[in-house]
Structure 1
């Protein structure tokens, strides 16, 4: 990536970072020598990670990525065919392993500590690291495979977010780490620019390297032939060896300034050259799951899971059941056919008006699904699923406490879009008057959507609902067909919320991004249940 970036922008980025680091000596500590003379210690150049991230975004036009559990900080569009996901990091050139991910919720839910507790017990009994590593290899491998699965799913999800839903095969998305590595105290002040690939873990080539130490046998290292990883059980953290000196692609000299006040007095001359760019003027964010951690069933992101939309007029459903029976009567046993027809009749011909009734319907549908697994006929499965489920990629984006939001922000989606017919839950404007363009960040994909349903609770696609659902459900959330989105899956991927943004440029669309919200410290723009904390 670094070699492909604009040389003038790289020079501006270098200037920002080295100018910031040039203040480092002004904060150096003074010590007393034996002769009581004050001696100023040399210090390492200071690289502030937040400033680094902001400088990278503003210089290269990158977009910030507010997603937890990955090291992706920004996304960068190089051209129409090349996009990058960038993990921005800073650490000393002589530093060791660096944290790259955390799996706290998944490790607890899946019992990783229990597995590694067995490894610790084995090590205590054997009392020899080599013997213990050999005995614990299957335990370490089990956890390493779980780590690899989650990490790879997160990487795939993030790549889909930047690639977008209408990307052709010509769009290439690469993930890289961009790191700044300052020299240490006593060395010539330099900042080394490093870059290394952000690879998925190669599951087929995982090799367990053993525990980090006999007495820390719940922590272990493994490699996939590309990177060396270390997992620390206490905080469920994954570390990686960056091979710091091997990844250097550029080196900047830092000239310290002694008078910080003079620097600050002239700072405005330097930053005035930077374009302020687009500014977010309004934003709103909300959790995808409810306060119990569950994602709504049968609607929203799980719209496919609702009852069949097959028409009931003119005995359409009965005719479709009979048509299925005639089509496959010679392909499966009479007992299996009777089981299927009985369940289809229960699902399609009976009414399920209440929530409890719908639970019964889903139980019957689950029994039918289990039977199809045993029958193992893809054509039959496809035809039956088309009867008993809604379209597999059907979905909309639900707005929590939508009536309250629209009443407080009637013009957020456009003039009077959030207004209602007096005394009703019905939106006042016609469909065409409550449409707008939604831009998905960071991919830049744009889709025409509208506010719909009672209380204006949904954001729905006008004519690309299937494409949108396919991308979000299969790509972003890495779900199989007919697999519901759950709170557990959100935790695994580190995506639990949505943010909408309006910009200072009135002609720009409303932006949408998938983010992570810390429920104990929600952002100021949060609505829904998390805003009440």
Structure 2
């Protein structure tokens, strides 16, 4: 599917958006429909057959093939809104060194680095924002461009005690100092061909409707709303049941020393820098804390037992648990993991040390290992401090 050209043809998606919006009185008494952003993300991925990236710590919430999508759900006022697009808590101390234009430039560089990280990590070559705008008695759905910031055209508009406003020649941004958060201005396109407007008749008493759902066994064909809502609730409950369990379905592996709070200079992801013998520039391993083996001994296969490690971009490599106490996750051959993580993902040059500062810039400090079965595991990046 060519998402950009065909997105408005997905009638099921818009129908389910409307249906969920009709249940707004479960959560609010406003005439502006309520839609939780997780619901819109899940609906988008289901009906556009997209991969859900919303739990990842990258700039994209979903991808369809090589097309990345940032999904936003918010209230529109006068067909516009300024919304959060990035948080920079991990580099806030560094950003405090800059003011005015210099700060805007650093923000643009950091935002671009995280966008390009997502592109490299997931094999994304193009993308857009997909907006679900909440308006009076309706929804306005549209797409917006998702370009890198033009660092050569940064222009400061206004600098106050609370925020810095700037643009890059095309897009308007606002950086909130206290929250280290970057906001972007979104506007509804004027051309009706570029948006989908949905009228929403909010159900006045959704509780009564749900009561009928419980009390009425033969609702199909009699209560259309109840039947459709039953289907949606059933799908949502099924997805909740599939929620992963830490230590059984997934674990976090920090890429830094938990004791030193730094990336070790001669081990882990800088293993290539260790002495004793000549080493390949891509020779690394991902450290496994002793607590993982102690608390969850059945998560990983036994030491030196090969398994397949599936990467976020769809490719895979052979891997195994190595070293005394099973303290290392390594690829086979060893350099494959380093080539992917150091070169393809982090874009480090050969001989360049990985530092905590670099990880903070990219917005992650750990990987998440998800267990499909004893022979197949998935790897992705995460910011562990936000998941503990």
**Which interval holds the TM-score relative to the shorter structure?**
0.7 to 0.9
Name the structure 2 match of 1:293: 261
Q: 1:261 to 1:303 in 2, by over 3 A?
A: same
CA deviation map 1:76-129 (0-9, x unaligned): 233xxxx133222111222432121122342313433xx43xxxxxxxxxxxxx
Q: Which runs of structure 2 are paired with 1:392-403 in the superposition (5 Å)?
A: 392-401=281-290
Name the structure 2 match of 1:133: none
> Secondary structure of the residue that 1:518 maps to in structure 2?
helix
Structure 2 residue corresponding to 1:45, chosen from 29, 33, 44: 33
Mapped partners of 1:99, 1:157: distance in 2: 19
> Secondary structure of the residue that 2:104 maps to in structure 1?
helix
**1:455: how far off?**
1.0
Q: Which runs of structure 2 are paired with 1:270-309 in the superposition (5 Å)?
A: 270-272=232-234, 280=244, 282-291=249-258, 292-307=260-275, 309=277
Q: CA RMSD in A?
A: 2.9
**1:276: how far off?**
5.7
CA deviation map 1:365-414 (0-9, x unaligned): xxxxxxxxxxxxxxxxxxxxxxxxx322221222111xx53354444234
> Secondary structure of the residue that 1:242 maps to in structure 2?
strand
Name the structure 2 match of 1:134: none
CA deviation map 1:33-74 (0-9, x unaligned): xxxxxxxxx611112112222222333242234344x54223
Unaligned runs of 5+ in 2: 214-225
Name the structure 1 match of 2:204: 258
**1:21: how far off?**
0.8
Contact 2:173–2:183 (8 Å) recurs in 1:
yes
Contact 2:307–2:375 (8 Å) recurs in 1:
no
CA deviation map 1:146-193 (0-9, x unaligned): 112211111111111102xxxxxxxx5223211100113xxxx22111
Q: More strand by proportion, 1 or 2?
A: 2
Contact 1:71–1:88 (8 Å) recurs in 2:
no
> Secondary structure of the residue that 2:293 maps to in structure 1?
helix
Report which of the two structures shows the higher radius of gyration computed on alpha carbons: 1
| TM-score, normalised with respect to structure 2 | 0.82
Contact 2:189–2:195 (8 Å) recurs in 1:
no
Structure 2 residue corresponding to 1:183, chosen from 135, 138, 152: 135
Q: 1:222 to 1:479 in 2, by over 3 A?
A: same
Q: More helix by proportion, 1 or 2?
A: 1
Name the structure 1 match of 2:110: 150
Name the structure 2 match of 1:77: 64
| TM-score, normalised with respect to structure 1 | 0.61
Q: 1:407 to 1:100 in 2, by over 3 A?
A: closer
Q: Which has the higher contact order (CA 8 A, sep 6+)?
A: 1
Q: Which runs of structure 2 are paired with 1:335-346 in the superposition (5 Å)?
A: none
Q: 1:304 to 1:259 in 2, by over 3 A?
A: same
Mapped partners of 2:26, 2:272: distance in 1: 61
For the pair 1:88 / 2:89, whether they are aligned, the reply is no
Q: Which runs of structure 2 are paired with 1:305-454 in the superposition (5 Å)?
A: 305-307=273-275, 309-310=277-278, 390-401=279-290, 404-414=291-301, 417=302, 427=303, 431=304, 434-441=305-312, 443-454=313-324
Unaligned runs of 5+ in 1: 30-41, 117-139, 164-171, 311-389, 418-426, 523-533
Name the structure 1 match of 2:371: 502
**1:234: how far off?**
2.6
For the pair 1:197 / 2:197, whether they are aligned, the reply is no
Name the structure 2 match of 1:268: 230
**1:218: how far off?**
5.9
Contact 1:157–1:475 (8 Å) recurs in 2:
no
Mapped partners of 2:81, 2:167: distance in 1: 16
Contact 1:67–1:495 (8 Å) recurs in 2:
no
Mapped partners of 1:4, 1:509: distance in 2: 36
Contact 2:24–2:35 (8 Å) recurs in 1:
no
